[in-house]
Amino acid sequence: MANTVIGSSIIIDGEITGDEDLVVQGTVKGKIQLKESLYVEASGKVEADIETQNTEVSGEVTGNITASDKVELKTQCRVIGDIKAPRILIADGASFKGNVDMDV
Amino acid sequence: MVDSAQSTVVGPSILVNGNLQGDEDLLVLGRVEGSINLTKTINIAESGIVKAEITVRNAVVSGVVVGNITASDSVEITEAGRMVGDIRAPRVIIVDGARFRGAVDMGDMEAPRASAPLPARTTDRPAMAKSVKAAIPASTSKASTPTPPPMAKAVPVAKKPMPPPPPPRKAEPPPRAAEPVAVPVAANKKLKKKVVVKKKPG
Amino acid sequence: MSDTACVIGKGIQIRGNLSGSGDLVVEGRLEGHVALEDHIIVEEGGTVVADIETRELTLNGKMSGNINANERVSISSSATVMGDIRAPRVVIEDGARFRGNIEMEVPLPDNI
C-alpha cells in the first residue's frame, strides 16, 4: 500500500507536494499541494493552504482550500478558511467559517 | 479509507519539505527534506530519498540519505542503501554492498593504543630495544597483554576529534611500500576532512 | 587464506614496518605500519596499532589506525576499531565497535 499517511502522532511543519492521495491523521502546518485527494481524518489537524483535486475533511482545517474537483466537509469537521471548488459538499454537523466560491 | 493507525508513509510521489516529528514509525518511499525527529523507526525504502537531519531511535537506510543520523539505538545501511553524512548511534550496521561516506561514532569504546616499552623479558632483544617509544614510561605492565589500556572516554553526544594517530613511522618504509601501490599516510589524513557531497550520475 | 599465510601468533608482538605480499593473520600484537598486497585478518584477541594498506582486511580483534584497502574492509561483531577507513566496500556487523570516518564512493541521484 503506497498510500501516503501522516500518522496521528506526526507533526509536519513545512510543505507536502505530490501526485498521490494523502491521508492526514496527525498535524500538518504549512502547505499541501496534491494532484490527487486529501483526506483529513477526524484526528487530523491541518493549518495550511490546500490545493488538491479532491479534499475531504473530517478533522480540522485552518486555511484556504482550493480543489479542481470537489471539497467535502464531513459531519463533525471544523473548517476555517475559504473554499474554492466546482463541487462543494457540507454535511449536517460540520462547522465551517469562510467563503465558498464555486466559480459560478 | 486507511485504518493503519500507527504507521506513517510518505508515498513514492510525495515530497515533504520541512520538519517532521512524531512518535511512530515512518516509511519513506518518496522524498523528505528538512529535519526528521522520531521516537521510533525510520525506514527509508529503496525509492526513498531523505535529505535531512535525522534523529530517531532506529534507522534503516535502503534508499538515499544525505544528512546526519543520530539514533538512540541503531542505524543500518542495507545492501541497497547509499548515505553521505555522519552517523551517531550505539549500533551501526553496514551491510556489504552499502555505500557510505562520513563519520561513525558509536560512543564509548576501548581501542588499542601504541604500547609503552616492552616488558623486561623482551626488551633485552637488541631489535626491540631500539624502539623509539621506549621512552614512554606509562602502562608498561599492560604493554604485553592483548587488552590495551582504555582510551579516554568519549562523550557520546559531543563531536570528538579523532583519536591520536598511530605511532609515527620509525623509518622510511622499505622499497616495496614506497611504490605507487601504497598510499602514504598523508593521504589518509584527508579522510578527516568534513564530508563533501559529490554528485554522481546514476 | 593461502598456504603461505604469515601468522603472528598469540604470544608474539611485532613493532615496525611490514610490507610485501601474502596473507597475514594477527593473533598477537602488531604495531607500526603495514603495507601488504593481500588479505590481513586480525583475529579475536589480536591487536593492531598501525596504519594499514592492503587489499582486504578482516577485523575480529582490536585495531586502531587508518585503513586503506583497495577491495574490502570487514569489521565483525567481536571487533573494536578506531581510525579512518578508505575502501570500495566496508562492512560493519551488528555488535562491532567502530569510531572514525568511512570513505566509499557513493553514487547519488542527480536531483539530490
Query: A70: which 3 cell numbers?
Result: 470537489
Q: What is the ipTM, given to two decimal places? A: 0.92
pLDDT tens column, B134-175:
444 444 444 444 444 444 444 444 444 444 444 444 444 444
Mean per-residue pLDDT of chain B: 72
Q: Distance (Å) from the C-alpha of residue A30 to the closest C-alpha of chain B?
A: 9
Residues C50, C29: Cα–Cα separation, whole Å? 10
Residue A68 has pLDDT above 80, yes or no: yes
Nearest residue to B198 (alpha-carbon basis) of A9, A67, C110: C110
Q: Which of B82, B170, B187 sits opposite C108 (nearest CB)?
A: B82
- Mark yes or no for CB contact C95/B112 under 8 Å: no
Other C-beta atoms lying within 10 Å of the C-beta of residue C81: 29
> What's the pLDDT at C56?
97
Phi first, then psi, for residue B59 (nearest 5°) are -135, 135
Q: Which of B8, B11, B19 sits opposite A18 (nearest CB)?
A: B11
Tell me if there are at least 3 CB pairs under 8 Å linking chains A and B.
yes
Interface of B with C in 155-194 (CB under 8 A): 160, 162-163, 165-167, 169-171, 173-174, 176-177, 181-183, 185, 187-188, 191-192
Q: Which of C66, C97, C108 sits opposite B200 (nearest CB)?
A: C108
pLDDT tens column, A17-48:
999 999 999 999 999 999 999 999 999 999 99
Residues C12, C68: Cα–Cα separation, whole Å? 24
Which residues are CB-contacts of A71 (< 8 A; sequence separation ≥ 6)?
Answer: A54, A55, A56, A57, A65, A83, A85, A87, A88, A89
Lowest mean pLDDT among B21-35, B48-62, B179-193: B179-193
Question: 0.90 cut: is pTM over it?
Answer: no
> What's the pLDDT at C16?
92
Q: Give the angle subtended at the CA of B88 by the CAs of B82 and B91, to the nearest 5°.
A: 85
Which residues are CB-contacts of A95 (< 8 A; sequence separation ≥ 6)?
Answer: A77, A78, A79
Q: Distance (Å) from the C-alpha of residue A27 to the closest C-alpha of chain B?
A: 10
Q: Distance (Å) from the C-alpha of residue B2 to the closest C-alpha of chain C?
A: 31
